[in-house]
Structure formats: structure tokens, C-alpha cells
């Protein structure tokens, strides 16, 4: 009987040990999956972004699996090669960019990793793993540039970088403040003015943004590329009257260009909607009709230009 009890005890110990081993393996797979943005329980399936799984082609999935295996083995060169192959096969997949970001981050290339995480979030804003990775890199970068400013409060590049980072994080008030600090040391720089405009309207610094836009119009009057960029920034902030005027100037310098005519038509269309609202409130209805006709002409010209290409 004692031998039977010992056999039973040994059997229970083997069963318990087996369950512990399986539990350990499962926990390890969960840890690995979270590190590369996978679903727990799908250790070989890199498609953790529900919104972009359909963008993964079979070659991309194969390359991602190879990248994950290399990452697990700490073979970072091979992991990067496979992750880049996955991105090349499925460039619209947030998952491929997220995995490449993890590999680059593990390789100590923080700037490149940040760009990949940022691309992943842009492709799928609901991708939790990529957002977490991006947020961590933003926090680390902000801390580094804040340390630079402690040593040199007038460092233009540090202020610019912090402005860009806070803008990526959605903190437009802090972003505008840092871009303003950078502009104070280079007030005639149109690129700094453009960066400031991008966040200033959303930070309730509209009058300063208007002044920056006037500066760009004056300094870059002969450069249609900068004016075009200014027009797109203003359109994003719903400054349609100035946007329409700027795209009209760009159209004079770059006639019969589809992108210019299309954006001019969109600006005039939105300005017409605003004018119609004003006319209902007792404003000038002639302006609304005029803008509507101009928008229609710009749209028709853009369609003709597109048809010629």
C-alpha cells in the first residue's frame, strides 16, 4: 500500500510539474506577444492590429514570423532584415511598422523606432500596442530635450524638437510655447513660422498665427512650395479666406496644377459655406454666390487638368 501511495504522489507531482511548465510557457508567450504588439495566445501571429490585419499579405506574415523568431533569439540584424521585408510587402499595415519599431528600439536606434511607431499609429489610431510604444518614446525624448534646456534655455533646436513632440502628443499649448521660443531666436525663419502655425490656432493663439502667416507670405512670396504648405496648414485650421487667397497666388505661379486647383476649389467651397451662414445672419449674400462660382470654376479646371495626365 505504501508503494501505491508513493506512486500516486509521484504521479501527482509529475502532473503538477507539467502544468507549471505549460503555465511558464504561456506566460512567456504573453510577455513576448506584448513586447511586439501581439495578441496573447497567438505567439506566431503578428497581426495584432485589428484595423490593419487585412493589409497583411502572406509574404508579409511570413517575414513577420521570421522577424519575431529572430527577435526572440536576440538576432537583431536578422530581425531587422525580416521586419523591413514585411514593411515592404505590406506598407499599409500598422503591425509591420510596429514590429520594425520594436526591433529598432531594441537595437538602440530610438529616432528610427519613433518614426515607425508614429507611422503605425497614423495607419491605425486604435492600435494600443503601437500607441503605448509611441507614448513611451515621446516621454523619453521629452525628458532628454528638457534636460538640454536646463543646460541651455535658449537652445533653438531643443525648443523646436519639444514643440514637435508635444504636437505629436496632442498638447498644442506646450507645443506652441516651444515653437514660439524657437521663433523668438529666428523670427524670420519661414519653417519655424510654419511649425508654429500648425499648433497655434489650436492653442488659441490665433492673432500670433495670423502674424506668422503674414510673415511667410512676405518672406516666401516667390516660393510656391512654401506658400502651398502654408495654404494646407491654414486649411487644416479652417482659415479659409486666407487659404483661398494663398492658393490663388500659388495658382498664378504654378498654373494648371491639379493639386493647386483642387485645394483652391476646396478652400472656396468651404469659404462659400461660411459666407452662406453669414448671409443667413444678415451678411452679404453676393459674396457667397461669387465664391460658389469661383469654387465651381476651380474644380472644373482641376478635373480638366487631371484628365490630361
Question: SS3 for the chain, per residue?
Answer: CHHHHHHHHHHHHHHHHHHHHHHHHHHHHHHHHHHCCCCCCCCCCCCCCCCCHHHCCHHHHHHHHHHHHHHHCCCHHHHHHHHHHHHHHCCCCHHHHHHHHHHHHHCCCHHHHHHHHHHHHHHCCCCHHHHHHHHHHHHHHHHHHHHHHHHCCCCHHHHHHHHHHHHHCCCHHHHHHHHHHHHHHCCCCHHHHHHHHHHHHHHCCHHHHHHHHHHHHHHCCCCHHHHHHHHHHHHHCCCHHHHHHHHHHHHHHCCCCHHHHHHHHHHHHHHHHHHHHHHHCCCCHHHHHHHHHHHHHHHHHHHHHHHHC
Of the listed ranges 234-243, 253-262, 269-278, the one predicted with least confidence:
269-278
| pLDDT more than 90, % of the chain | 43
**CA 168 remoteness from chain centre:** 7
Across the chain, mean pLDDT equals: 77
Nine cell digits for residue 7: 506512486
Question: Contact 220/227 with Cβ under 8 angstroms?
Answer: yes
Task: Report the b/e string of 24-61 with b at 16+ CB within 10 A.
Answer: eeeeebeeebebbbbeeeebebbbbbeebbebbeeebb
| Mean pLDDT calculated for residue range 128-135 | 88
Q: Top-level CATH class of 17-134? A: mainly alpha
Phi-psi group of 204: left, alpha or beta (phi > 0 → left; psi -120 to 50 → alpha; rest → beta): left
Nine cell digits for residue 283: 451678411
* Cβ contacts of 183 within 8 Å, gap of 6 or more: 189, 192, 193, 196, 212
Pick the CATH number of 152-212 from 1.25.40.10, 1.10.357.10, 3.40.50.2000, 1.10.1200.10: 1.25.40.10
Work out the burial of residue 229: count CB atoms within 10 Å of its CB; fewer than 13 is exposed, 13-18 middle, 19 or more buried: buried
Has residue 287 got a pLDDT over 50?
no
Q: What is the pLDDT of residue 48?
A: 56
| Mean pLDDT calculated for residue range 270-297 | 50
* Boundaries of every domain in the chain: 17-134, 152-212, 220-309
Q: Name the residue with higher pLDDT: 100 or 274.
A: 100
Has residue 73 got a pLDDT over 60?
yes
1-44 per-position pLDDT tens digit = 444 544 454 444 344 344 433 333 333 333 333 444 433 333 33
Question: Contact 76/70 with Cβ under 8 angstroms?
Answer: yes
Q: Name the residue with higher pLDDT: 271 or 159.
A: 159
Q: Do domains 17-134 and 152-212 have the same CATH topology?
A: yes
The structure's pTM equals 0.59
Pick the CATH number of 220-309 from 2.20.25, 1.10.357, 3.40.50, 1.25.40: 1.25.40
Of the listed ranges 57-71, 132-146, 264-278, the one predicted with least confidence:
264-278
* Cβ contacts of 116 within 8 Å, gap of 6 or more: 97, 98, 100, 101, 104
Has residue 240 got a pLDDT over 90?
no
Amino acid at each position: 500500500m505504501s508503494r501505491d501511495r508513493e506512486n500516486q504522489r509521484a504521479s501527482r507531482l509529475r502532473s503538477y510539474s507539467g502544468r507549471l511548465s505549460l503555465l511558464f510557457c504561456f506566460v512567456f508567450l504573453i510577455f513576448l506577444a506584448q513586447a511586439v504588439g501581439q495578441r496573447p495566445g497567438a505567439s506566431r501571429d503578428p497581426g495584432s492590429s485589428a484595423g490593419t490585419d487585412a493589409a497583411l499579405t502572406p509574404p508579409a506574415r511570413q517575414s513577420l514570423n521570421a522577424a519575431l523568431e529572430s527577435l526572440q533569439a536576440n538576432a537583431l540584424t536578422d530581425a531587422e532584415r525580416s521586419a523591413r521585408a514585411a514593411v515592404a510587402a505590406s506598407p499599409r499595415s500598422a503591425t509591420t511598422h510596429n514590429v520594425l519599431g520594436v526591433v529598432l528600439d531594441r537595437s538602440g536606434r530610438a529616432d528610427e523606432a519613433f518614426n515607425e511607431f508614429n507611422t503605425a499609429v497614423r495607419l491605425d489610431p486604435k492600435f494600443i500596442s503601437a500607441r503605448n510604444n509611441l507614448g513611451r518614446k515621446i516621454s523619453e525624448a521629452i525628458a532628454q530635450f528638457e534636460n538640454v534646456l536646463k543646460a541651455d534655455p535658449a537652445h533653438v533646436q531643443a525648443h523646436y524638437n519639444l514643440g514637435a513632440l508635444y504636437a505629436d502628443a496632442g498638447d498644442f499649448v506646450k507645443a506652441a510655447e516651444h515653437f514660439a521660443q524657437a521663433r523668438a531666436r529666428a523670427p524670420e525663419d519661414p519653417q519655424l513660422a510654419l511649425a508654429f502655425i500648425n499648433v497655434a490656432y489650436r492653442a488659441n493663439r490665433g492673432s500670433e498665427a495670423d502674424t506668422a502667416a503674414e510673415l511667410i507670405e512676405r518672406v516666401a512670396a516667390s516660393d510656391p512650395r512654401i506658400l502651398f504648405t502654408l495654404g494646407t496648414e491654414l486649411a487644416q485650421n479652417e482659415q479659409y479666406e486666407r487659404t483661398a487667397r494663398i492658393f490663388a497666388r500659388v495658382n498664378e505661379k504654378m498654373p494648371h496644377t491639379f493639386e493647386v486647383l483642387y485645394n483652391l476649389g476646396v478652400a472656396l467651397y468651404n469659404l462659400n459655406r461660411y459666407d452662406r451662414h453669414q448671409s443667413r445672419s444678415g451678411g452679404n449674400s453676393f459674396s457667397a454666390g461669387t465664391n460658389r462660382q469661383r469654387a465651381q470654376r476651380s474644380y472644373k479646371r482641376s478635373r480638366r487638368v487631371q484628365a490630361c495626365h
